[in-house]
Amino acid sequence: MALHRAAYSSFLSRLAPFGLSFSKVVRCVSPENYGWLQTLRCLADSSQVSEQLKGEDRREALKSQQIPKIKRPPFAKNLFLGIFDKEILAYPEVLNKEELTDLNGMVEVVERYFKEKVDSKKIDNEAVIPEETLQGLKDLGLFGQQIPVEYGGLGLNATEFARLAEITSLDGAIAVTLAAHQSIGLKGILISGNEEQKAKYLPKLATGEHIAAFCLTEPGSGSDAASIQTKATLSKDEKTFYLNGEKIWISNGGIADIFTVFARTEQLNERHEKVESISAFIVERKFGGITSGKPEDKMGIRGSNTCSVHFDNTPVPVENMLGKVGDGFKVAMNILNSGRFSMGSSAAGFLKELLGVTVEHAINRVQFKKPLAEFHMIQEKIAKITCSIYAVESMAYLTAGLLDTLESPDCSMEAAMVKVASSEVAWWSISECLQILGGLGYMKDYPFERYLRDSRIMMIFEGTNEILRLYISLVGCQHAGVELKDVVRKLRNPFMNPAFTIQKLLQRSRQKNDRVKLSMDLRGYVHPSLAIAAEWLEYSVMRLQYGVELVLARHGKVVVDHQMELKRLADVAIDVYAMTAVLARASRSYCIGLKNADHEVKIAYTFCANAMKRIRENVKDLEEGPYMNNDRNYQELASTIFKNRGYAATHPLTRNWY
């Protein structure tokens, strides 16, 4: 019996993806990585049980069925150690049949609304979203996308949320208004609020009756959130906090009714000394003492409301504190980390739309008796834009899939990677689309200039890309540092550990010569037609690990101060994550035979080849050090310029003598 089971299971495993319709590669089904597959199998089979249930109950039941969530080590952090979780190469399929049908229905409705009812040009010109448009969005339930159903929201999971973000991003102002409301504004209540707070605030926020805003930034505190100055003082009876201070550039600041405010509080520690820390509060506008400044006139996302908010002795009841006293910084970081992943799908959403317009133009515009589409440089641009869109889309949905399928997912680094990659891809791609349209793209008749202006903010808000790059590489180095403690100590003291040093030198000879030994067998985890790209990915993972080790050994603990090297590490890590997502998705598409799957394979090869080239370059720069890779020059040049308070080179027409 056992024998025959084994024989057949090995036979069956070679067969089709029975219901497991993702990349089914034989070695995927080895016992040690069966967990993921099992979950997905549960998802696939759940359609059977669900048939007896009706409507809303069914939806709820389906959600509750998705529990065996799996525990997996953090993917992106482990990349810094050269550990690659191969299961991620089975691109997650989160939604079952019913959920997908529901979602597609929703997408269709929202898309129709955006195409018919939203006049983005007018919103941009008049710098305000009309009341009836906002009301329409509220009626569609878009103000409570991630709020659970029991509080009157749509109860979407990360994947569904990302899908809707593709549509809502068609108008930058609306996208930002929605994001400020639910990705950050009310996220605090969702993540850290207690039951009473949730029951009190969420229902009205879900319908859009109340709009939320997130108040962190202050005149003296932008990226450095820990330096905020707004004060919350506890009253004598210890029942009320009084808020005092100014917050600036608050999205929805003028229209919001509920604010998540971060402020300094003082309390006594065990030794009865006064300590200051940051706490988070839910503040209603009707508490009084809140004034909003006039809406800022912005470069892009002009329809969204951004203004300063003053708190003047605003009384906040103690029960409105989010989390405990002193939890504020953690709450803020959690909120920001959890909201970022959807920026990838937002960017992909509007970029796909723009690419369509651009392609139409390139086909019909004739120059030198040929349509633009036949010019190689245009073809290159179109292909590169496509690869970039594909990459951010894959990254966004991979991250969303991880958030949905993992138990207590630790995806802040992945989300940051998605945010950095997508914002930069968006800016660059729109600019290239505009370039293809030439003069037309520069005109206000076409949406390109508006999208270009709108997209610029993506690199700035929700953590600037610079800060996020540091976050990615520092968190990665911190994670790696725990494991590499002894190695780095020995590497930094070579003469105390001669044997180890010599051994390490020998080990590294391959890395030094850029001939990495591949031993992870990633090619076994994707479709055979992507095997080579999988080897590139493996090379890249090994190079990242080598880079981390190099930097840690070179700088030890002060690695924190070497931002140019950290930036390179972050870039390498982002590229590795992007390659992973792209390969996993293309492999899945090809295995299950989606439309144009061969095109996806080609995209994957193109993207991976370019990414590997960038990675090779970045790691080479890390290896060569600041004197060879210009880092030193950058620092010296900059310091001269700062000393001269501006451009320091003399004008070329200047003559020293006549």
CA distances to 508, 509, 550, 617, 647 from 514, in Å: 10, 9, 14, 11, 39
DSSP 8-state symbol, 179: I
Give yes or no for residue 595 binding other proteins (CB under 8 A): yes
Q: 200 to 219, contacts with other proteins by CB under 8 A?
A: none
Task: For residue 477, count other CB atoms closer than 10 A to its CB.
Answer: 20
- Tokens at 11, concatenated: 């036979």
Q: Between 50 and 197, whose beta carbon lies closer to other proteins?
A: 50
Cα–Cα distance, 87 to 229 (Å, whole number):
45
The answer to whether 205 and 212 are in contact (CB under 8 A) is yes
What are the two backbone dihedrals, phi and then psi, of residue 644, each rounded to the nearest 5 degrees? -85, 0
- Binder of other proteins out of 53, 103, 373, 564 (CB under 8 A): 373
**CA–CA distance, 417 with 413 (Å, rounded to integer):** 6
Task: For the chain, state the CA radius of gyration.
Answer: 27
- Identify whether 623 is a catalytic site residue: no
Among 83, 128, 520, 592, binds other proteins (CB under 8 A): 592
Smallest gap, in angstroms, from Cβ of residue 371 to other proteins?
Answer: 6
C-alpha angle 448-452-458 in degrees, rounded to nearest 5: 145
Stretch in the footprint of other proteins (CB under 8 A) among 124-132, 164-172, 232-240, 590-598: 590-598
Residue 364 makes contact with other proteins by CB under 8 A? yes
Say whether residue 1 binds other proteins (CB under 8 A). Answer: yes
Residue 148 or 371: the one with the smaller Cβ distance to other proteins is: 371
**Which of 368, 495, 647, 657 is close enough to bind other proteins by CB under 8 A?**
368
Is 90 a binder of other proteins (CB under 8 A)? no
Binding to other proteins by CB under 8 A, coded x per residue (else -) over 281-320, reads ----------------------------------------
Give the residue, chosen from 10, 18, 27, 57, that forms a contact with other proteins under the rule CB under 8 A.
Answer: 18
CB closer to other proteins out of 18 and 34: 18
Number of residues forming the site for other proteins (CB under 8 A): 29
What is the contact mask toward other proteins in residues 316 to 355, using x (rule: CB under 8 A)? ----------------------------------------
Catalytic residue among 414, 462, 535, 538: 462
In the complex with other proteins, the residue whose CB is nearer, 4 or 294, is 4
Residue closer to other proteins by CB (options 65, 501) is 65
Choosing from 282, 597, 611, 612, the residue that interacts with other proteins (CB under 8 A) is 597
Q: CA nearest 183: which of 195, 170, 194, 169?
A: 169
CB of 631 to other proteins, least distance (A): 41
Q: Considering only residues 48 through 67, tell me which ones interact with other proteins, judged by CB under 8 A.
A: 48
By beta-carbon proximity to other proteins, the closer residue of 373 and 487 is 373
Q: Which stretch binds other proteins (CB under 8 A): 86-94, 283-291, 360-368, 385-393?
A: 360-368
Q: Contact between 47 and other proteins (CB under 8 A)?
A: yes
CA distance 452 to 434: 9
The single residue among 12, 109, 440, 496 that binds other proteins, judged by CB under 8 A, is 12
Residue whose CB is less far from other proteins, 564 or 592: 592
Please state the closest distance from residue 10 (CB atom) to other proteins, in A: 12
Of 398-406, 446-454, 534-542, 591-599, the segment contacting other proteins by CB under 8 A is: 591-599
Q: Are 113 and 140 in contact (CB under 8 A)?
A: yes
Is residue 594 near other proteins by the rule CB under 8 A?
Answer: yes
Q: Taking the complex as a whole, how short is the minimal distance between the CB of residue 2 and other proteins, in angstroms?
A: 9
Cβ 364 to other proteins shortest distance, Å: 6
Residue 610 makes contact with other proteins by CB under 8 A: no
The amino acid sitting at 281 is F
- Whole-angstrom distance, CA of residue 655 vs CA of residue 652: 8
C-beta closer to other proteins: residue 382 or 425: 382
* Residue of 31, 439, 593, 652 interacting with other proteins (CB under 8 A): 593
Contacts for 57 with CB less than 8 Å, ≥ 6 apart: none
34 is an interface residue for other proteins by CB under 8 A: no
Smallest gap from residue 587 Cβ to other proteins (A): 13
654 binds other proteins (CB under 8 A): no
Please report whether residue 3 would count as binding other proteins according to CB under 8 A.
yes
H-helix segments, 51-171: 55-65, 75-79, 97-117, 120-126, 131-139, 158-168
Per the CB < 8 A criterion, the answer to whether 182 and 256 are in contact is no
Binding residue for other proteins, selected from 369, 376, 651, 655, defined by CB under 8 A: 369
Q: What is the DSSP string of 365-414?
A: -EETTEEGGG-HHHHHHHHHHHHHHHHHHHHHHHHHHHHHHBSS---HHH
Cα 345 from Cα 431, distance rounded (Å): 19
- End-to-end alpha-carbon separation of the chain, Å? 102
CB neighbour class for 628 (10 Å; exposed up to 12, middle 13-18, buried from 19):
exposed
Nearer to other proteins, 440 or 594 (CB): 594
Q: Which stretch binds other proteins (CB under 8 A): 39-47, 245-253, 341-349, 562-570?
A: 39-47
Euclidean distance between CA atoms 81 and 451, whole angstroms? 39
For residues 145, 581, 100 and 455, what is the CA-based torsion angle, rounded to 10 degrees?
Answer: 40
Burial string for 441-472 (b: 16+ CB within 10 Å, else e) reads beeeebbbbbbbbbbbbbbebbbebebbbbbb
What is the enclosing helix (H) or strand (E) of 544?
A: helix 531-555
Residues in contact with other proteins by CB under 8 A are 1, 3-4, 8, 11-12, 15-19, 21, 44-45, 47-48, 363-364, 366, 368-369, 371, 373, 592-597
Positions annotated as catalytic residues are 462
